[in-house]
Structure 1
């Protein structure tokens, strides 16, 4: 065998090794470094939020903790504004997005999504002055109504789609959107149903009314970089496993049926 041929084989082998490393997915990277980095926006009760000790907690966070344990790695949460999640993932600031993100066709062009871990929908909170005047979301599609949403969310997109005739304003956090209605600066707030139901339980929001029936169908999932099919495969099998062994039901009941956690939220 000639030296030139040996050199060619060696160069080819090195190239294949580097190619394999370059194509390693988020899960492989997390295992290699011993840390799973997840981008999240902790303003979405009960999925991800900040407690009185400044810790990020919630249903999705608990799922991610179990995921990290299954991988044998630590969990590192990287808090960023919701509108910066996709950009942060693409810039490799974290391995995946775990932030109550709805799977949409527009987002799916930029991301790959895991199987959905829960399905929610948009609902509406109303100012008490609208009692008897507004009985459906269609009633709000009028220029006389002021609608508040959260910037960059599917609630914002749904309001623009279904309530185009109304006067729409988006805010950085859902808390600010609800506050606009409480203070009479907006007539209604559009956001995911689980958040709105919990917001109603807070004393400062108790006077608000609710159109409780969701008017959209929205699956939530983990977001990964395009082409990271190995990581998608692992996460989908993980979601199936926790659904079968009772872990998912236990966490779901903790955050959606029990209320003890509310006393710990800032």
Structure 2
């Protein structure tokens, strides 16, 4: 009898526990949803977006206002969420730590999705794609093959912490690499003859070569390190990741992302708005 009572008691306990499991799972799911940055954005009425300044992703116009592809994306995202967009310009080498520290809700700044970055942050599906090209000082690199750039006698300049710096180090490990906070400073080193070349995503190299035809050129009709660019967000937030992914997919399917990307990367109607 005692054994039978124990079996009945055990069965009842398992039954109660089994009934409690769905409720527990629902509580956990609700807690995750409540803690999502999406809820924070909705309550605040503002989405805070981290970005770095580099043409034509994000830049300041002649009045000092921020314009560019990323600004269009961020403002459209905010409009669809029913909130305002607040952009937080941040140096590239500190932008991921600033996101992790909670300085803003997401990074929308042409950030290439890489396994190394994915160890620290989560990425959405790509909302844009780009490749890198070499911008060279023509006189200093006359007659160079691609292999000639991989030499201790060659100096590259690049933006600190950005994908071009990593790609240069991987492709040309023997070359010297000078690091700067902005793409403009790296380009200036090449213009001044202090570096043989830099590497940037198009259309920046071709634009710089057209603006300085006597000094600069794009020596190879070849893109390197092509990859997708995603929004970066803090780990442990499945609701935010799901929302941003669905938004990007919708905007890609309707053609909105391509139209805005083509405007900034394939046209020049915007160039009279910024200092050349």
TM-score for the superposition, normalised by structure 2? 0.84
Which of 59, 74, 97 is the aligned partner of 1:87? 97
The aligned counterpart of 1:207 is 215
**Is the 1:155–1:191 Cα contact (8 Å) retained in structure 2?**
yes
Partner SS state of residue 99, structure 1: coil
The alignment status of 1:238 with 2:247, answered yes or no, reads: yes
Deviations 1:43-95 (A, max 9, x none): x2111111111111111210111111110000000111111111111111100
| Partner Cα distance (2:168, 2:243) in 1 | 35
**Is the 1:124–1:212 Cα contact (8 Å) retained in structure 2?**
no
Instruction: Could you tell me which runs of 5 or more consecutive residues in structure 2 were left unpaired when the two chains were aligned.
Output: 1-23
| Partner Cα distance (1:33, 1:145) in 2 | 50
| Counterparts in 2 of 1:226 and 1:206: CA distance versus 1, 3 Å | farther
Deviations 1:166-217 (A, max 9, x none): 1111111111111111111111112223322233333x46631113411212
Instruction: Report which stretch shifted further, 255-264 or 193-202.
Output: 193-202
| Partner Cα distance (1:46, 1:120) in 2 | 12
Report the count of equivalent residues. 249
Superposed, which structure 2 residues align to 1:16-165 within 5 Å?
20=31, 24-42=35-53, 44-130=54-140, 132-136=142-146, 138-165=147-174
Superposed, which structure 2 residues align to 1:219-234 within 5 Å?
219-234=228-243
**Is the 1:120–1:194 Cα contact (8 Å) retained in structure 2?**
no
Instruction: Report which stretch shifted further, 94-103 or 21-30.
Output: 21-30
Instruction: Report which stretch shifted further, 68-77 or 47-56.
Output: 47-56
| Partner Cα distance (2:145, 2:90) in 1 | 36
Post-superposition shift, 1:22?
8.4
RMSD after superposition = 2.1
